[in-house]
Structure 1
Amino acid sequence: MSSDDVMQRARDRRALNDRLKALIVEGLGLPLDAGLIDDDQPLFGRGLELDSLDTLEIVSLVDENFGVYITDDDAYVFGSVNSIADFIEAATQK
């Protein structure tokens, strides 16, 4: 993989993470700027303090925007923006 490929992959990942953050903030009506969410910040508990209803909305947002459905077996995906992005990348590369 060339350095140009690596740089493009990094730009694509940054764009995916930024889009996910914007979708979460807008879709859940969170009173904060999407840019303030860290890629590895926990979404639940001490992180953004989301709840189980928010999980359903995120599932819907990911399905509508990326064509990727998150099942109950994929609950680990909700750890952070990075983990959701990893899941989307893996699902769309199949």
Structure 2
Amino acid sequence: MQSLYLEIKHLIIKTLNLDELTVDDIDTDAALFGDGLGLDSIDALELGLAMKNQYGIVLSAESEETRQHFFSVATLAAFIHSQRV
């Protein structure tokens, strides 16, 4: 899972042009939105599209379940892992 965490962190940095951050700046278990990394709904859409392109998974923007998957790098990794099996 550690390599998947790194992949997701790199994807976040690249997709959202967060060049001032490194993978070490993104806490695996911290919230990506709000008080955590501070991402917003536009970032969520861009990240969702990147996830679809990178991993072939489709997430519903309206779903409460999707919001839970997008909570942190760890929850995203768990979701991606579950979709691969």
Q: Same fold (TM over 0.5)?
A: yes
After TM superposition, list the pairs within 5 Å mapping 1:1-94 onto structure 2. 13-30=1-18, 31-72=20-61, 73=63, 74-93=66-85
Structure 2 Cα separation of the partners of residues 64 and 83 of structure 1: 19
Structure 2, gaps ≥5 residues long: none
Equivalent pairs counted in the alignment come to 81
- Alpha-carbon RMSD across the aligned residues, in angstroms, is 0.9
What is the Cα deviation at residue 35 of structure 1?
2.1
Alignment partner of 2:32: what SS?
Answer: coil
TM-score scaled by length of structure 2:
0.89
Larger RCO, structure (CA 8 Å, separation 6 or more) = 2
Structure 1, gaps ≥5 residues long: 1-12
Identity of aligned residues (%): 35
TM-score scaled by length of structure 1:
0.81
Asked if the contact 1:62/1:68 (under 8 Å) is kept, the reply is yes
Larger Rg: 1
Structure 1 stretches of 4+ moved >3 Å:
none
